Structure 1
């Protein structure tokens, strides 16, 4: 007869304890992290586990200067009480530090080295000491001190005296410089790259400048991917060559997109782009836009100037046709324009100057068909900043633009048009979302009847005053049948406020109020719109739905609006 013993696996118990004698939250957290891995079999820890707990707590408080702590355990039934008497912490008595190498004569390097957050007389805090060593090493590498190492680092602990001595000796080595820039593969971008570099050969190496260079390369719109990296192993003396690997975009890029809103109905946009016309970085873009009330086609030739990403000239020709029964507009316009755009590096502000020739054949309301030629210089300044391209939680947008024409300078009539538009989005506590919008404009002329329809002001619709049809609000006259037809206005002023609150991960509920007018006389009553809405948050941006009540002297109506597209 045989007997076999079968081992029984006991479930491990996670340590549950009460900590006494420690008030500092950082200390409590560190002790908790150290004790998290302790488990034992049975209802209470055995003697070996108790010794391990005491040792672990002592280890956890030492980085904060408490090397003379006394830890005791009390077991009450199945409760573990850890009593800690921290005692006096170690105080930093002396700090000895020295730089050897070229960093000694570099003011910025010395400033960083002397920025140790531990001072004589402070309580020893080892995490700060270790973080400084790591930060100093990273700083050295990012500023070209590739040979940096710590020649000596030491903490001398004198427990009997409650003192600690800090020793830091850094060997910086030499500071490397930017060397030649080497282009791998297709070299058609050579001229462009030289204008994107934030450094010159011989400048002190900086990882920040190299990161800026990479960002600028990838912002140009010429490359699928661009990487600039230092070849430290191939340094010639103190000069580090920079290698650039580029993957170019296709010769021709085609995109077709769609969208829709209750203003224009469904719309289709087609785009063709040739990123490289020549080695100087010239590019050309063609676009076609189709919706029920509007159709347009354009060709835009862009010439990069000194700053490839932020400074360029553009020559554009376009054809636009509009047949909008709501605004009583029928217009056909041919336009040729020259623009110059520029902004400062990393600035949200952009400026432009332009010269535009428009030939517009139009019929507005009951007026006779007209053809007007305008040669208009223009200027605009804009500001745009947001935390996301598609789903914006924080964002600001502002633009003011003006155009003028004079009958003695290539135009059939004299006029001055000024417009301003502003949008603001803010989200508080990741919950409460505010969207404010305002727009204003004015036309100064002695021959308003000859101002083309595309320059006059109309408002109403998804992007202005909800509760009304697209461009339904404007001054009007009566036709032969006594029907009201629109003429367009000299002035524009609209404002909107919207509040949204998330109800699920992908939906927000909203309430809003809009007010404004397009008019020839601001003493006329304003139009208002108010209502409720919902935002559906999708991968291609928010789709916004609204039920709005519109009111002015001619109409009281309910309308449904929906919009898909950017909010700024």
Structure 2
């Protein structure tokens, strides 16, 4: 029956009232929910109880105390509840769980509240369990492996010792890892048991290992271009059929990454593809680009801005020969060198190279000018495990130079030589610990390709150490001597000079040396000019304090000379400095006061780049 208009109006009004009531209820529910959540989180933040601090007594061993504290901190309990018997029993159970791995299965615990309601946990350990019997046995090939047996018999738990389950569990894990690292890929524990006889306070240990066979190195499998196969085979420190060793594989990976031929390379065993006991070694690699270019810039007070451009071709042929060249440009010096490298037996540490170079030098503060052509053959080698690199060489050098009283003189020398170099540093840019030592000797004989008799020896060293993270000390020294039958014909580039950023600060580059009267090409007047000496002796010590991140304050003392007379008075300098450890390397500023027998000088030195 259809509704009349009045009934329709009444229904609309009733529906609206109902909706209003529902809306009010919904709003009330929402407000209550938000109020509950707010009180909940506020309660957690505002009324959270601080963690209980336990004072542990009766236990002196650090490892026991640490383990007890760890277990007690895992109890989620307020301090006030610890007066209840239930929670005191829980504390006792936690302490028992903490000390049982160390052989104490009969401990007693008492909880008390002393000054300021401090919670004191007094532990009585009582007598521990003593190892009564240790039974060990190896089944399989490991039984005949002396190294395997020695490792297996190295369990530190002996009869009469207090039971320490941490040693027991650690031994099982370490033995398993040792087996896998030495080719026992089927190794497993056939039986392990720790019997606890609490009434007699004794424990018995049973360890039976099934070693399985020892696997061996198999053939190499290559993932990617295998053009380096011959080189990689030479880098292997193992042969097919040798017993597998993770140490040998790690050495193989180190050699691969140090070879310089690959952008990315990794070698790993593929046990699932073993052919009998031979495990293939998968080599996944990515070769370096055919040609690599690099640009580096720097600056120093001695040379001003400098730029170095480099090119390298790491792969010239399948035998691993490589070629590179280098161009160096600064205001006083320009040079270009080329190097062809031939790897020998140990590719990463043993190689021969042929080097050719041209160099032009002209220093504004002297009348020195030279052009040098050189061609040399080097044989580099480094014994396994030794940080010392050896270099046997023979060099042909022809230098045309103007220096002092000598004008446009040309000297040719054939110089067999030998150098021994040690270099070690903790970082390539910001060095906190580093050492550098080089010993160099060259000799030439008149009539055997040389215009004069010539012998030269140089020893130089730098040591950097940092103490307490902020105290840095660097010590540097250099000694050199020349013996010849005609010093006037010794090329200036082979003579000794001192002074400058890396020598005795406070003086110009190469300023300290014997002098001679020369004609200034700009004024025509006679001036005294450094011409180089037969002997060199310099040393330096510097202290730097890092007073904030990225900045060090420094102070130094330099001393030394380049001379023809070993009794010459030494020149020295002192001064402060500041180091900025920039993202691209340290920038060092120094103000140096130089003291020489005939004058005192001031010099500002700015150096960019690492010291080693």
Shorter-chain TM band: over 0.9
- Paired residue for 2:568? 524
Q: Shift of the alpha carbon at 1:304?
A: 0.4
1:133 aligns with 2:172: yes
Instruction: Please say which of residues 355-364 and 267-276 is displaced more in the overlay.
Output: 355-364
TM-score (normalised: structure 1): 0.96
Q: What's the offset of the Cα at 1:27?
A: 1.0
1:199-242 Cα deviation digits (max 9, x unpaired): 00000000000000000000011000110000000001111000
Question: 1:19 is matched with which residue?
Answer: 56
Residues 1:541 and 2:578 aligned together: no
Alignment deviations for residues 259-308 of structure 1 (CA, whole Å, 9 cap, x no partner): 11111111000000000000000000010001111110111000001110
8 Å Cα contact 2:444-2:453 kept in structure 1? yes
Q: Residues 330-374 of structure 1: CA distance to partner in whole angstroms, max 9, x if unpaired?
A: 011111111110011231111111111111111012421111111
Equivalent residue for 2:386, pick from 347, 366, 388: 347
Tell me the residue number matched to 2:74.
37
Check if 1:73 corresponds to 2:117. Answer: no
Q: Distance in 2 between matches of 1:567 and 1:158?
A: 66
Mapped to 2, the partners of 1:65 and 1:428 lie a distance apart of 42
The Cα of 1:41 is off from its aligned counterpart by 4.6
SS in 1 for 2:407: coil
Query: Which of 93, 97, 102 matches 1:64?
Result: 102
Q: Is the 8 A contact 2:400 2:409 kept in 1?
A: yes
User: How many Å separate the matches in 2 of 1:300 and 1:554?
Assistant: 45
Contact 2:470 2:547 in 1 (8 A): no
Change (3 A) 1:539 1:110: farther
CA distance in 2, matches of 1:120, 1:505: 55
Residue deviations 1:17-40, cap 9 Å, x none?
A: 221111111111111111222233
Candidates 531, 535, 547, aligned match of 1:487 = 531
User: Would the aligned equivalents of 1:12 and 1:40 in 2 still touch at CA under 8 Å?
Assistant: no
Match of 1:161 in 2: 200
1:360 and 2:404 equivalent?
no
Cα distance, 1:407 vs structure 2 = 2.0
> Which of 558, 562, 567 pairs up with 2:606?
562
Q: Secondary structure at the match of 1:422?
A: strand
Specify the SS of the correspondent of 1:368. Answer: strand
Shift in Å at residue 51 of structure 1?
A: 2.7
Kept in 1, the 8 Å contact 2:540–2:558? The answer is: yes
Correspondent of 1:259 among 284, 292, 298: 298
Matches within 5 A, 1:405-416: 405-416=444-455
In the alignment, is the contact (CA less than 8 A) between 2:404 and 2:517 conserved in 1? no
| Paired residues for 1:25-424 under 5 Å | 25-41=62-78, 43-45=80-82, 46-76=84-114, 78-424=117-463
Structure 1 residues 31-40 or 73-82, which shifts more? 73-82
CA distance in 2, matches of 1:374, 1:479: 26
| Structure 1 position 159, deviation (Å) | 1.3
Instruction: Report what 1:507 is aligned to.
Output: 551
CA–CA distance in structure 2, aligned partners of residues 248 and 182 of structure 1: 16
Q: Shift of residue 147 of structure 1?
A: 0.6
Q: CA deviation at 1:440?
A: 1.1
Q: 1:521 to 1:196 in 2, by over 3 A?
A: same
TM-superposition CA deviations, 1:495-533 (whole Å, max 9, x none): 111122221132222221111101001222111011122
Distance (Å, rounded) in 1 between the aligned partners of 2:418 and 2:380: 10
The CA distance in 1 between the partners of 2:456 and 2:300, in whole Å, is 28
Confirm or deny: 8 A CA contact 2:579 2:589 kept in the other structure. yes
Distance 1:89 1:99 in 2: 29
* 1:429 matched to 2:465: no
Q: Distance in 2 between matches of 1:541 and 1:91?
A: 60
Contact kept in structure 2, 1:545 and 1:561, CA below 8 Å: yes
Give distance in 2, aligned partners of 1:439 and 1:91: 64
Q: Which residue of 1 is the match for residue 491 of structure 2?
A: 452
Tell me which moved more, 533-542 or 309-318. 533-542
- Cα deviation, residue 482, structure 1: 4.4
1:473 aligned residue (500, 508, 512): 512
Decide which structure has greater helix share.
2
Q: What displacement does 1:534 show? A: 2.1
Whether the 8 Å contact between 2:591 and 2:602 is mirrored in structure 1 is yes
Provide the secondary structure at the position in 2 that maps to 1:464: coil
* Partner SS for 1:175: coil
Query: How many residues are aligned here?
Result: 568
2:54 and 2:69 in contact (8 A); partners too: no
Bigger mean CA offset, 264-273 vs 541-550: 541-550
- Partner Cα separation in structure 1 for residue 68 and residue 587 of structure 2: 49
